[in-house]
Amino acid sequence: MQANTLLKSPKQRKLLLSAGFSWMFDAMDVGMISFVVAALAKEWSLSSGQIGLLTSINSLGMAAGAAAAGILADKYGRKNILLWTLLIFSVATGLSALAASFAILCVLRFIAGFGLGGELPVASTLVSESVEPRERGRAVVLLESFWALGWIVSALIAYFIIPGYGWRIALVIGAVPVLYALYLRRAIDDSPRFEGIRKKPVPLGERFAAVWSSEHRRSTLMLWILWFTVIFSYYGIFLWLPSVMVIKGFSLVRSFEYTLIMTLAQLPGYFTAAYFIEKFGRKFVLVVYLVFTALSAVWFGYASTEGTLIAAGICLSFFNLGAWGGMYAYTPELYPTSVRSTGVGLAASFGRIGGIIAPLLVGVLVGRSVGLPSIFVLFFVTILIGAAAVLFLGRETKGIDLD
C-alpha cells in the first residue's frame, strides 16, 4: 500500500512524494493556526467570537482560492497554479508572524487561506490525472495522507515551540515552503491529460455550464453537499480542538499533547481508506467512514474522562481523515479532463463555506454557554447528511478511465 509498492513508475512515485510534501506544508499551516489561536486567546485576551472569526477568515480565503485555482488550472496548467498557491500561502504565513494587531492578522490569514485552498484541489487533480485507473484511488488517498503528517508537524511545533518561544516563531517556520517551491518547479511535470488539451482549453462559461449540465448535475449536487458537510464538521471540530480541550479543563500544554496523540490516528485512517477504496469502492469508503465519524463526534462531545476523551478523539481523527482521503480521490473522477479542475475547485470552494460558518458558529455557541454535547450532536447530524448524499446520489467510479 505504500507509495513504493503502489506505483511502478519512478516518475509517478516522485510526483506523489513531491505533491505530497506540498500537501504536508498546507496541512502544517492549517494545523498551526488552530494552535496559534489557542495561544493568542490567552496573550491577546480574544473572545470566543474573535477566535471563531479568525479561523473563519482563513476558511473564507480557502473558499476563494479553491474556486480561483480550479478555474485557472484548467487554463494555465496544474503545475503552474500549484506553485503559485504554495508561494502565496507560505509568504503570507511568514508575514503573519509580524502582525501587530488582530485586524492585520485576519487580513494575512485570508491571503494565506487563498493559497491553501487553491493548492489542494489542484494537487489532487494533478496526481489523479497522472496515475493509472487501477492505482488512482489509492494514490490520491496516499497523497491526502500527507495531511496527517502536516498536522503532526504542526502539533510538534506547537508543543515544543509555542510554550517556550511564542506563536510568532511558529508562524516563521510556516514560511519554509517558499524554499520548497523552488525545488518543486523542477521536480514535477504537468499531467499528460492536461498536456493533451492545453492547446484547446474550454472557455470559462462553457466549463461552468458543463459542471451543471444534465450529464454532471447529479454528481455536482452530491459533491457540493459532501464537501460542505465534511468541511463544516472538520473545521468546526479540529480548529477548535485545542481550545475545546482547554474548555474541558486541561492546561494549554496538556491540550497540545492530547491533540498530538489524536492527530497520530489520522495516518492509519488514511492507510486503511487507501486499501479499501480499491477493494470495495469509493462509495463504500465514504459512507462507512462518515457514519463512524458521526458516531465518534457524539462520543467525543459526551466524553468526560481523560481516557474516553482520548479514545473518542482518536476515532474521530481516524474516520474523519479517512473520509477526506476518499473524497479527494472520488471528486476528480466525476468530471472529464477539460473541466475537471474547475469541477473539483468549485466543489471545494462551496465546501469551504462550511469551513467559514462552522468555527464562527462554534464560537457563538460557546459564547452563549451551549454545552459541548449539544454542539457535537450538530456535527453528528451534518456528517450523516453527507453520507446520505453519497449513498443515494453518488455513482461508483472504481477502475473507470477518467475520460
Which pLDDT score is estimated for 363? 82
pLDDT-derived band at 253 (thresholds 50, 70, 90) equals low
Which pLDDT score is estimated for 1? 43
Domain assignment of residue 32, yes or no = yes
Q: Which helix (H) or strand (E) holds 333?
A: none
- pLDDT for residue 121 is more than 50: yes
Domain assignment of residue 185, yes or no = no
- pLDDT for residue 29 is more than 50: yes
Domain assignment of residue 345, yes or no = yes
Q: Between 5 and 206, whose confidence is greater?
A: 206
Which pLDDT score is estimated for 39? 84
- pLDDT for residue 241 is more than 70: yes
Which pLDDT score is estimated for 252? 63
Q: What is the DSSP letter of 201?
A: P
pLDDT-derived band at 7 (thresholds 50, 70, 90) equals low
Residue from 124, 121, 110, 12 nearest 72 by CA: 121
Domain assignment of residue 4, yes or no = no
- How many angstroms separate the Cα of 211 from the Cα of each of 65, 204, 230, 263, 339? 18, 11, 21, 35, 7
Q: How far apart are CA 156 and CA 135, in angstroms?
A: 32
Residue from 322, 39, 54, 46 nearest 167 by CA: 39
* Mean pLDDT computed over every residue of the chain: 88
- pLDDT for residue 4 is more than 60: no
- The alpha helices in 77-215, defined as continuous H runs, are 78-96, 102-129, 133-160, 162-165, 167-173, 177-187, 192-197, 204-211
Give mean pLDDT, residues 198-218: 88
Which pLDDT score is estimated for 244? 72
Residue from 331, 265, 256, 273 nearest 296 by CA: 265
- pLDDT for residue 290 is more than 90: yes
Instruction: Look at the chain and report how many structural domains it folds into.
Output: 1
The residue whose grid cell reads 477526506 is: 324
The residue range of the domain holding 313 is 10-178+202-393
Q: Between 283 and 338, whose confidence is greater?
A: 283
Question: Residues 61-118: pLDDT tens digits?
Answer: 999 999 999 999 998 999 999 999 999 999 999 999 999 999 999 999 999 999 999 9
Which pLDDT score is estimated for 345? 94
Domain assignment of residue 166, yes or no = yes
Domain assignment of residue 236, yes or no = yes
Q: What is the CATH number of the domain that holds 106?
A: 1.20.1250.20
Q: What torsion, rounded to 10 degrees, do the Cα atoms 191, 197, 199, 202 define?
A: -120
- Concatenating the DSSP letter of every residue in 229-261 gives HHHHHHHHHHSSHHHHHHHTT--HHHHHHHHHH
Domain assignment of residue 26, yes or no = yes
Question: Residues 325-379: pLDDT tens digits?
Answer: 999 999 999 999 889 999 999 999 999 899 888 888 888 888 888 888 899 999 9
Question: Residues 133-162: pLDDT tens digits?
Answer: 888 889 999 998 898 889 888 888 888 898
| Residue 188 buriedness (CB in 10 A; 0-12 / 13-18 / 19+) | buried
Domain assignment of residue 324, yes or no = yes
